[in-house]
Amino acid sequence: MAMSILIAPDSFKGSLTSAAAAEAMGRGVKRALPEADLTLLPLSDGGEGLVDSLVAASGGRLLEYEVTGPLGTPVTAKLGLMGGGQTAVIEMAQASGLILVPRKKRNPLVTTTYGTGELIKQALELGCNHLIIGIGGSATNDGGMGMAQALGFLFLDGEGKSLGRGGGELARLARIDAGGRDSRLDQVTIEVACDVNNPLTGPQGAAHIYGPQKGATPQMVARLDQALANYDRILQRDLGQNVGEVPGAGAAGGLGAGLMALLGGKLVSGIELVLDVLGFDEKVKGASLVLTGEGKFDAQSAYGKVPMGVACRAKSFGVPCVVVAGTVLPSADILHGKGVTAYFSILNRPMRLEDSIKDAAVLVENQTAEVVRLFSAVN
């Protein structure tokens, strides 16, 4: 009987999408073991590739919309409609991501999640009753205010005037008026794919931990943290929502808090959500081997990343799991006890980063072929 191999990688950021990585691994398997029975399952942990992964696996379709980008200018963003047509998949980074802001213009005092709200509104227009929202890769620190503004919420200052956009405006927030909230939200279940556990404010909060990578100076970080603290107080007073200390509230510049408090969203592990939606458990049953991978594999991979989510599930079914990664750091050794049978770097010689990125598909294919040759020889 042909050996059954499940291929379930994340993207190799900067070089391969998860789909391209899975295809390269598949070619490697077929080189070493032509008769192998392959299942390709490209994955995402809720960040880059979430839409493509879930749409492809469910036989859905991709839609594109022009929405408001993080700097207020139009951008084109993808929305995924899964097979069946009732579930929409949104990556906030498509509309409000750091990748959309040139480095010299990064300033979380002014960037907005308004476009993410516009994508949610499009999903409501499509009649969806289930939203899956990935919130990795944000350029923002507005607590989801922009997102909510696009859905009919009013954020008012002490004179009753609407606030502008951006995290800096939250310092002036005096009242939240939810009277104009899109009523269709009452009929929707929202799951938020989140792989961090930061609170909204404080030393481990959104501004302090993630503000600098979004362009915030130390002075801006202090302003943004104080603004989010004011936002947290108003959410509690006006809406009765005390979410500031919930793990993940600080994700995406406080969008985690906004989605929970304003839209009733539930924060869940991104990779666990994806594995469940794609029916990973059914696919791994009967497999002889699981192959997964990502660009960088180290101790941090234990925290909500694709390879560890895959390895833990595979271990529960008694299936060996091998990680093929771009870079493997010594700290990855601790992951052997968490379901990882073995791991291998794709680098086969000293090389420059740009060369490894350019040749990533071939390197992944070659290393996968060697892994499968070894595995088939001893099984």
Domains contained in the chain, CATH given: 4-43+279-377 (3.40.50.10350), 50-271 (3.90.1510.10)
pLDDT at res. 1: 64
pLDDT at res. 378: 84
How many C-beta neighbours within 10 Å does residue 99 have? 10
pLDDT at res. 64: 97
pLDDT at res. 302: 78
pTM of the model: 0.86
Query: Phi-psi category of 264—alpha, beta or left, where left has phi over 0 and alpha has psi -120 to 50?
Result: left
pLDDT at res. 196: 83
| Total residue length of the chain | 379
Q: Are 115 and 91 in contact (CB under 8 A)?
A: no
DSSP string covering 124-155 = HHTT-SEEEEE--SB---STTHHHHHTTT-EE
C-alpha Rg value of the chain to the nearest Å = 22
Using one digit for the tens of pLDDT, what is the confidence trace for 39-73?
A: 999 998 877 789 988 998 889 999 999 999 999 99
The low-confidence residues of the chain, meaning pLDDT below 50, are none
pLDDT at res. 312: 95
